[in-house]
Structure 1
Amino acid sequence: MDATAPASAGPAGTVDALVLDTPDPQGSAAFWRYLTGGIVEQTDDDGWITLALPGGWSLAFQPAPDLVAPRWPGQERPQQLHLDLLVPDVAVAVARAEALGATVLRENERWTTLADPSGHPFDLCLAEDVGSLTVIGLTFDVPDASAAAAFWARLVGAEVVHDADGMAMLSGPRALLFQQVADYAPPRWPDPAAPQQGHLDLSIGPLSQDEAQERALAAGATRLPGEGRAFRVFADPAGHPFCLCQF
Structure 2
Amino acid sequence: MSHEDISASTFRYSAVTFDCPDPAELAHFYGKALGLPVVFSAEDFVLLGQEGAAGLGFNRLADYRRPTWPDPSQEKQAHMEIGVDDLDAAQARLLALGAVKPEFQPDPDRWRVLLDPAGHPFCVSTLV
Whichever of the two has the greater Rg, that structure is 1
Which of 90, 111, 114 is residue 234 of structure 1 equivalent to?
Answer: 114
Q: Deviations over 1:74-98 (max 9, x none)?
A: xxxxxxxxxxxxxxxxxx7xx95xx
Cα distance between partner residues in 2 of 1:163 and 1:149:
10
Q: 1:122 matched to which residue of 2?
A: none
Q: Between Structure 1 and Structure 2, which shows a larger proportion of helix residues?
A: 2
Q: Structure 1 segments of 4 or more deviating over 2 A?
A: none
Q: 1:178 matched to which residue of 2?
A: 58
Q: Deviations over 1:57-114 (max 9, x none)?
A: xxxxxxxxxxxxxxxxxxxxxxxxxxxxxxxxxxx7xx95xxxxxxxxxxxxxxxxxx
TM-score w.r.t. the length of structure 2 is 0.85
Q: 2:96 matched to which residue of 1?
A: 218
Q: How far did 1:209 drift? A: 1.1
Specify the SS of the correspondent of 1:177: strand
Please tell me the residue identity of whatever aligns with 1:226: Q
Specify the SS of the correspondent of 1:222: coil
Q: How far did 1:197 drift? A: 1.1
Q: 2:20 matched to which residue of 1?
A: 142
Aligned residues: 119
Q: Between Structure 1 and Structure 2, which shows a larger proportion of strand residues?
A: 1
Q: How far did 1:131 drift? A: 4.3
Cα distance between partner residues in 2 of 1:189 and 1:245:
18
Q: Deviations over 1:113-157 (max 9, x none)?
A: xxxxxxxxxxxxxxxxx9411111100001011111011101111
Please tell me the residue identity of whatever aligns with 1:146: A
Q: How far did 1:216 drift? A: 0.5
Task: Mark the runs of 5 or more structure 2 residues left unpaired by the alignment.
Answer: none
